[in-house]
Amino acid sequence: MAVSFSLRSSVLRRALSGAFYLHSQTPGAPAAATGLRCVSNAAPEQRKAAIIESTEEYRFVERLIPPSRIPAPPKHVGVTPSGWSPPADSPPPLPYMIRRSRMHNVPVYTDVTNGSRKLTLVRKVEGDIWALEKDVKQHLKEVTGEELPTQVNEVTMTLKVKGHFEKELKDWLVSKGF
């Protein structure tokens, strides 16, 4: 039935192609002029099919939604090519502990205030912060040769050292295993 219908429409189109110049632009027009409805060549059963809802394809949207948690870094042994090194598996046996930041970096930061005041800040300290201050002062004396003024804030558990010593303190803390 479908085959005969499409055959009839194609035969009609070829018959009217010479008569109407606009055949190529409006193939439906000659069929409409002859009184036949030829909206599509599909069979009438398919035009009345039910709408199917599918949520299977939503996985393509779901895999685009970003995560909110920072992932744990993959297992490395030693220093990575970028210079990052993982913390030790077990915390070092010292009276203080320095946690990593949320991006798994050592929490030592430099600051410049009033244009010329240089500070190094060690954050996220837990435990005996005065022992950390003593060790930091002793290590920087070995490295630089001078006694540097430091400030301990017991409420926020941070340590400030005068001067820029980010690299030295980071290497020292990583060597300790923090």
Partner 1 sequence: MLRFSFMVCGRGAAKRFASSFSGESTLPPNLLLPTNLVDPARLKRPPPPADCSLPVLRKCDAVIPAHLSPLQTWVETLEKQDSEPLGLTQLHPDVFAAPPRLDILYDVETWQRNFKRISYANTKVRSEVRGGGRKPWNQKGSGRARHGSIRSPIWRGGGVAHGPRGPNSYYYMLPMKVRVQGLKVALSSKMAQEYLHIVDSLNIPTPDSQYLLDLIRHRHWGESLLIVDVGEEFPENILQATANLKTVNIIPAIGLNVHSMLKHEAVVLTLETVKFLEDKLLWHDQRYTPLYPFKLPYSDFP
- Where in 6-25 is the site for partner 1 (CB under 8 A)? none
Which whole-number Å values give the CA distances from 109 to 95, 120, 124, 166, in the listed order? Answer: 22, 6, 11, 6
Q: Please report whether residue 62 would count as binding partner 1 according to CB under 8 A.
A: yes
Alpha-carbon gap, residue 103 to 73, rounded angstroms: 9
Q: Phi first, then psi: what are they for 34, rounded to 5°?
A: -85, 0
Considering only 78-86, 96-104, 128-136, 168-176, which stretch makes contact with partner 1 by CB under 8 A? 96-104
Smallest distance, Å, CB 69 to partner 1?
5
Q: Which of 90, 113, 114, 116 binds partner 1 (CB under 8 A)?
A: 90
Nearer to partner 1, 97 or 152 (CB): 97
Q: Please report whether residue 35 would count as binding partner 1 according to CB under 8 A.
A: no
Alpha-carbon gap, residue 22 to 30, rounded angstroms: 9
Q: Tell me which residue of 115, 117, 81, 108 sits closest to 173, measured CA to CA.
A: 108
Q: Which of 24, 55, 68, 113 binds partner 1 (CB under 8 A)?
A: 68
DSSP 53: P
Q: Please report whether residue 67 would count as binding partner 1 according to CB under 8 A.
A: yes
Q: Please report whether residue 157 would count as binding partner 1 according to CB under 8 A.
A: yes
Nearer to partner 1, 47 or 59 (CB): 59
Q: Please report whether residue 97 would count as binding partner 1 according to CB under 8 A.
A: yes
Q: Tell me which residue of 102, 53, 142, 81 sits closest to 169, measured CA to CA.
A: 142
Smallest distance, Å, CB 86 to partner 1?
13
| CA angle (133, 134, 139) in 5-degree steps | 95
What does the binding site for partner 1 look like in residue numbers (CB under 8 A)?
62, 65-70, 89-91, 97, 99, 102, 126, 155, 157
